[in-house]
Amino acid sequence: MKNILITGGAGFIGSHVVRLFVTKYPSYNIINLDALTYAGNLENLKDIDQSPNYTFEKVNLLDVAGLSSVFERHNITDVIHLAAESHVDRSIESPLDFVHTNIVGTVNLLNIAKTKWGADFSKHLFYHISTDEVYGALGAEGLFTETTPYHPNSPYSASKAASDHFVRAYAETYHIRTIISNCSNNYGPFHFPEKLIPLFINNIIHKKPLPVYGDGLYTRDWLFVKDHATAIDVIFHNGKIDDTYNIGGFNEWKNIDLVKILCKLMDEKLGRQAGESEELITYVKDRPGHDRRYAIDATKLNKELGWAPSVTFEQGLAQTIDWYLENTTWLSNVTSGAYQNYYSSMYSNR
Ligand code: NAD
Ligand code: DAU
């Protein structure tokens, strides 16, 4: 019997992972632990939240007694750890929030797992979900592999790198069985509109300026979120213990090229004139310490575990746009209230 604790399950990627595990594995109990910060939203899970194998626990990673109680009450056998502060721009404004949740929170979880599983680690797995940003920035050539040295450049990526190091250290020192995966930029349904793609979709809908940082020639490697979830499934079940896997779809885009495609697709879907949304593009002040290029080499995952993305970028982007246009209530709920304050404080001085 598996009782799997998925942390951050009310967030963007976590909600897709929870949905996949709850529906695909009826014999597993899935316990979703989430503090419901601004990024956590139980609306993301309303289609599966009545499933008999699903439970939600509103607990903060900094609440050690709360974590311990969840482990105890649900007899947790495995952890898939996604909960984190995840937005680079916020990390530049408030680095300590990232130290607390991403580093201290991860160590709290590791400590509880060590204590509860200490008698016999062989039946348990601590799977830590991380990012390609820990590797730093690439030049024009090359890809991040699993052996690329860590070189984080933002408070966010530094906090994720630290959490990865703690996971590895707990495997080495205490023999907890761990796996780490480092994924490239995700996109898809339920993505909070502070990140590039959903923010620009929302702004195009409302004919608001599209704030492109710097020269717009920064490059990201985009993966459809449901493909990240299937990679997590494959790695959780078949990954080599104490190993790491890069996850990505060999799908690099310069920001400005991606934004232009988004504008074109949105004009078509909204019945607007060709070129109308492109006129909203506004070059603004750059992000400090902005990493020039990320690109993931996911060969190991493909060769060893047979995983590959299921959709092309064109298909994934079209599905994503359709989802946002069909879920305007979700979008207006998450962009009301505190989001307005965030938006004006983050963008008014650019
Ligand atoms: P997200 O911001 O959408 O969701 C994070 C979730 O964690 C939210 O539900 C939030 O309520 C919860 N959370 C935050 N602080 C918490 C705390 N102290 N205690 C308990 N819960 C807390 O993030 P996401 O984009 O879904 O990312 C999930 C994970 O995947 C993160 O670890 C992130 O570093 C990693 N990742 C993200 C991407 C990406 O493109 N979004 C790519 C690679 C890796
Ligand atoms: O690479 C994986 C990472 O991808 C994850 O670990 C992070 O959690 C996730 O947020 C994401 O980080 P990025 O910083 O790459 O994503 P973001 O959507 O914030 O920005 C993507 C690119 O778009 C980046 O070059 C900055 C640029 N950008 C972003 C915003 C929000 C703009 O030009 N304008 C914007 O308004």
pLDDT in tens, 129-149: 999 999 999 999 999 999 999
291 lines ligand 2 (CB under 6 A): no
159 lines ligand 2 (CB under 6 A): no
Task: Tell me the CATH number at 140.
Answer: 3.40.50.720
Residue 19: pLDDT over 90: yes
Residue 21 C-alpha to ligand 2 middle, in angstroms?
Answer: 27
The structural domain count of the chain equals 1
What pLDDT score does 104 carry? 99
Determine, yes or no, domain membership for 310.
Answer: no
What pLDDT score does 12 carry? 98
What pLDDT score does 114 carry? 97
Q: Which atom of ligand 1 is nearest to the CA of 192?
A: 3
Determine, yes or no, domain membership for 94.
Answer: yes
215 belongs to the catalytic site = no
Determine, yes or no, domain membership for 115.
Answer: yes
What pLDDT score does 101 carry? 98
Determine, yes or no, domain membership for 159.
Answer: yes
Q: Which residue has the higher pLDDT, 284 or 348?
A: 284
Determine, yes or no, domain membership for 144.
Answer: yes
User: Ligand nearest 152 Cα, by number?
Assistant: 2
Note down the domain range covering 102: 3-187+223-247
313 lines ligand 2 (CB under 6 A): no
pTM reported for the whole predicted model = 0.98
Report the Cα 240 to chain-centroid distance in Å: 22
Residue 174 C-alpha to ligand 2 middle, in angstroms?
Answer: 35
Catalytic member of 135, 156, 187, 324: 156
Residue 349: pLDDT over 90: no
Determine, yes or no, domain membership for 165.
Answer: yes
Residue 212 C-alpha to ligand 2 middle, in angstroms?
Answer: 11
Mean pLDDT across the stretch 77-98?
98
Determine, yes or no, domain membership for 258.
Answer: no
Q: Residue 215 — pLDDT band, cuts 50, 70, 90?
A: very high
343 belongs to the catalytic site = no
187 lines ligand 1 (CB under 6 A): no
Determine, yes or no, domain membership for 282.
Answer: no
120 belongs to the catalytic site = no
Instruction: State pLDDT tens for residues 314-337.
Output: 999 999 999 999 999 999 999 998
Residue 350: pLDDT over 90: no
Catalytic member of 57, 85, 132, 297: 132
